[in-house]
Amino acid sequence: MTRATARRKQRGLTLLEVLVAVAVFAIFSAMAYGGLIRLLDNRERVDAERVYWRNVSLAFQRIQRDLSLARNRPPRDNTGNPDIKIPAFAGQPTDPRALGDPNVEFTRGGILVPNGSTADLQRIGYRFVDGKLMRLTWPVLDRAPLTKPQSTPLLHDVDAFEVRFNYNGAWIDRYPPLGTSKFDPVPRAVEITLALKGRGQYKRVFLIENKEK
């Protein structure tokens, strides 16, 4: 081996070679970082979608359980007037007024009572207002004049919430049906149409069984 060859083998990297190596490393690092960011973004979107649809599923399950336990127990009027009858089960199209009636309101059984000395009944309601589906619960069944329900958001970003009721094999948008004094205290089934913002429209039918007449 000549002395010139040995010197070539022993010399270090030039500044240009270092700069090229750093540039290549920077390019690959940027590509790897960009891929990682996209992966994390996709994971966050997937997780958000999973949480969203889980909440929708839980909302439908809550509605189904409430309706399956509907009972024929009309609450007493909050004025104490026995001539004013409040139906055990009542429903109507959406009332846009701030203090409007719920889309559906009924007496539900099966409420856990720790002391076992009070009735296992509660007044439940659902109302669509300001893009939210709200679940209403009254603290007492036979309420006083100032009794107000507790309102809990069940779903957000709701475009529409429609309820229909099965009566004599037909679907009506009010319950009790107008113009008749003879009807089942609780409808046979309830149809709910839920329109979610940017997610489409979903329809479910809930049967009400074991209802007391």
What are 70-128's pLDDT values in tens digits?
999 998 877 666 666 789 999 999 988 777 889 999 999 987 666 554 568 999 999 99
HSE toward the beta carbon, residue 197, CA cutoff 13 A: 9
User: What's the CA gap between 165 and 83, in Å, rounded?
Assistant: 26
For residue 192, the model assigns a pLDDT of 96
Give the range among 11-20, 57-66, 138-147 with minimum mean pLDDT: 11-20
Both structure tokens of 66: 């409430």
Q: Is the pLDDT of residue 22 over 70?
A: no
For residue 58, the model assigns a pLDDT of 93
pLDDT top residue among 163 and 119: 163
- Mean pLDDT, the chain, rounded, equals 82
Would you say 164 and 190 are in contact if contact means Cβ atoms under 8 Å apart? yes
Would you say 62 and 135 are in contact if contact means Cβ atoms under 8 Å apart? yes
Both structure tokens of 115: 């002391």
Rounded to whole angstroms, what are the CA distances from 62 to 28, 30, 118, 161, 173?
A: 51, 47, 23, 15, 21
What is the tens place of the pLDDT at every residue in 180-201?
A: 777 889 999 999 999 999 989 9
Architecture of domain 1-213: Roll (3.10)
**pLDDT average, residue stretch 15-37:** 69
CB under 8 Å to 153, separation ≥6 — which residues? 132, 133, 134, 135
Give the range among 18-22, 67-71, 160-164 with minimum mean pLDDT: 18-22
Both structure tokens of 111: 């409420």
